Amino acid sequence: MATPSALVLHCDACGADAPHRVLRGKVGGKADLVFEGVVKCSSCGAVRSVVSREPRPVERPVIVSWLGASERTTMEFSADEAIEIGEELELGDSRIEVTAIESKGARVGSARARDAETIWAKRVDKVRVKFSVNKRNRTIAVDLVAAPDEEFAVGDIVDLGKNRAIIHHIRTAHRTLREGSERADAIVRMYGRVVRERTSR
């Protein structure tokens, strides 16, 4: 494993828990990661030799739900790191929220990473906005993908690929908007109609 450029350590000279720049050293160990080397405290500048030991990271299976499908992947955690339902985590370029944890054959509210057998999560950096669009004498259902804080307003024209539609009203869990705007993550469904494109000759 590559030698880190810095470590957060307790400094015996100034008493601070501060980043220490690694001047030289090596990483080894099997069960644990063991760093042996010389470090410099960023708080007081003291230089000293240290031996630092920490558990190796563990890789855990994560099942991520998104747009009605589930994808299996893995994430790396510190062995003693606590994982909780409702916690948000970074997964590559996306953000996920933990929805369930299985540990020792049972669903639990939280667990140490070393004890978590499977983690279920859902994407929270994108949401699906349902849009019912009237096209001539029929209604078609369209799903739009948006950032949670993206706003849609009554009167907005939305690009649906082959068609464009104007939003007539927006329904949330508590009210129906016939004017104004709402965040994507608060919208239950939008309603609108296809806009006929005018072509010039």
Q: Residue 162: its pLDDT value, please?
A: 84
Nearest alpha-carbon partner for 150 in 187, 194, 123: 187
Q: Is residue 201 part of a domain?
A: no
199 lies in some domain: no
Token pair in block for residue 183? 């965040």
This prediction has a pTM of: 0.60
pLDDT band at 181 (very low <50, low <70, confident <90, very high): very high
Ramachandran bin of 174, using left for φ above 0, alpha for ψ from -120 to 50, beta for the remaining angles: alpha
- How far is CA 16 from each of CA 9, 10, 13, 46, 80, rounded to the nearest angstrom? 8, 6, 8, 11, 23
What integer is the mean pLDDT of 76-97?
89
The stretch 4-18 carries a mean pLDDT of: 90
Residue span of the structural domain in which 95 resides = 58-123
Look at the chain and report how many structural domains it folds into. 3
Tens digit of each residue's pLDDT (9 = 90 or more) over 127-136? 889 999 998 8
Show which of 73, 100, 123 is a domain's final residue: 123
141 in the same domain as 83: no
Same domain, 72 and 117: yes
Q: What pLDDT is attached to residue 135?
A: 86
Residue 112 and residue 62 share a domain: yes
Average pLDDT over every residue of 152-176 = 93
Pick the last residue of a domain from 123, 143, 161: 123
Mean pLDDT of 54-72: 88
What's the pLDDT band for 199 if we cut at 50, 70, 90? very low
In a domain, 190, yes or no: yes
What's the CATH number where 47 sits? 2.20.25
DSSP string across 3-48 = PPSEEEEE-TTT--EEEEEEEEEEEE-SSEEEEEEEEEETTT--EE
Q: What pLDDT, on the 0 to 100 scale, is given for residue 197?
A: 61
